[in-house]
A and B are shown apart, each in its own frame.
Chain A
Amino acid sequence: MEKTERLLEKLEKIFGISRILKQRDDLYFVNVSEEKLVAVLTHLRDVENFTHLVLMSNVDYIERGVFQLTYILHNYETHIDLAILVEIPRENPVLDSIHHLWKQGWAYQREIKEMYGVNFPNSPRVDEAFVLEGWEEIPPMRRDFDTQKYSEETYFPRGNRQTNDPKTYMAKKLYPQGEK
């Protein structure tokens, strides 16, 4: 644990990481600026032994106008997870590719490009579609995309769909005379 604190202090000095959040004893979240992302990841992988890229994902914070990308790294010696958060603007989002650090990175990046429209220049096959062949709308995982409206306009809804609020429905069914 002390080791991790020391590591974070060091990262703060070298790269200026900010807003360190300790989620658990073995899970820390840190924020990094867009430009220093690849430098931090390279340093963590080659010097600090965070050799495993657990996942890479994206969150759309439409209220703040940013995309937040998350890179979770794992250290097999100390079993510490370190999550690197990067925020980039929602307009014309572009970020440096990490496929040269972890080979599987291209798959994550291709998916994020398809679902959110975040571009990763020079990442292999980043412009090819995973599932959305011939997609013409805005990327569907962006929160300003109305998926229900799109579905109703496109996929011939059957129109006899009924929904019940589970709580009131079950209460009526179990206690027809009203709850005691």
Chain B
Amino acid sequence: MNKEKLANDGLKESEKHLFCDTRPQPYKSYNKYWEKFLNWARAESLWILGFGTGCGAIELRPLLTARYDISQYGMAPRATPRQSSVFVIGGYASVKTLKRIIRSYEQMQGPKFVVAVCSCSINGGMYWDSYNTINRIDHYIPVDVYITGCMPRPEAIIAGFGDLKKRIKEGRADGHNEYVENLDWYKANQKKIIKDWDMPDYNW
């Protein structure tokens, strides 16, 4: 893992002192039984970031409201990335949206999980040859669970969240550590398409 300070090359010289240049640290797990308990607690209280990216986010509305009522599974929408632990990528992401996705994802507190909904975030879907939508989201942020479909029904999304819970309880959902350890690779991919990078290299 690279230990150098972040360069923050996108910022102006006059702004550089305003932002943090420390690299994010990987999450160190506690002893086996305490970590198992923590994973159970994390899996049973997933808080979703209320950020709908793309058309698949329309399926989150029936999920969150009375029809499918996702609060019965211990999940709730949150208004800010600081309070949420699950990021639902709802379908295609344009380059402009991707910039906001990265900002929000990095502001979330680890351990954090990503669920990619719809075929667009997996292989581009019907926008695979578009000039402005990315083809696969896992080159920009780590993904824990994919849910296929165009769009998947709320039942499918609930099943996907069930898989996510299983992964968390088994201790396999370590997207945060993956992101931190391969930060340089992810940043290179992100900067390849976001040409006007005017934010710090890691949005604390």
Contact = CB atoms under 8 A, between A and B. Distances in A.
A136 B197 CA distance: 13
B118 to A, nearest CB: 14
A131 B96 contact: yes
A137 B132 CA distance: 12
Interface string B93-131: 011100100000000000000000000001110001111
B128 A157 contact: yes
B123 A160 contact: yes
Contacts of A150: 131
Contacts of A145: 131
Given A131-B96, A133-B95, A133-B96, A140 B131 contact: yes
B139 interface: yes
Contacts of B132: 131-132, 140
Nearest to A149: B129
Contact of B189 (A132, A136, A156): A156
Interface in B110-160: 122-124, 128-136, 139
A135 interface: yes
Q: Chain B interface secondary structure, helix, strand, loop or mixed?
A: loop
A158 interface: yes
**A134, A140, A147 interface centre (most CB from chain B within 10 Å):** A134
A135 B123 CA distance: 23
Contacts, number: 62
A155 B134 contact: yes
Interface in B73-104: 94-96, 99
Contacts of A154: 192-193
Contacts of B15: none
Interface residues of B, number: 24
Contacts of A137: 131
B7 interface: no
Nearest to A154: B193
A155 B193 CA distance: 8
B193 to A, nearest CB: 6
A150 B129 CA distance: 8
Interface string A142-171: 000101101110111110110000000000
Contacts of A160: 123
Nearest to A145: B131
Given A132-B132, A158-B122, 8 more contacts: A131-B95, A133-B96, A134-B197, A147-B130, A152-B129, A154-B192, A158-B123, A161-B128
Contact of B129 (A132, A148, A156): A148
Nearest to A150: B131
A140 B133 CA distance: 13
A151 B129 contact: yes
B196 interface: yes
Contact of A158 (B124, B129, B195): B124
B193 A136 contact: no
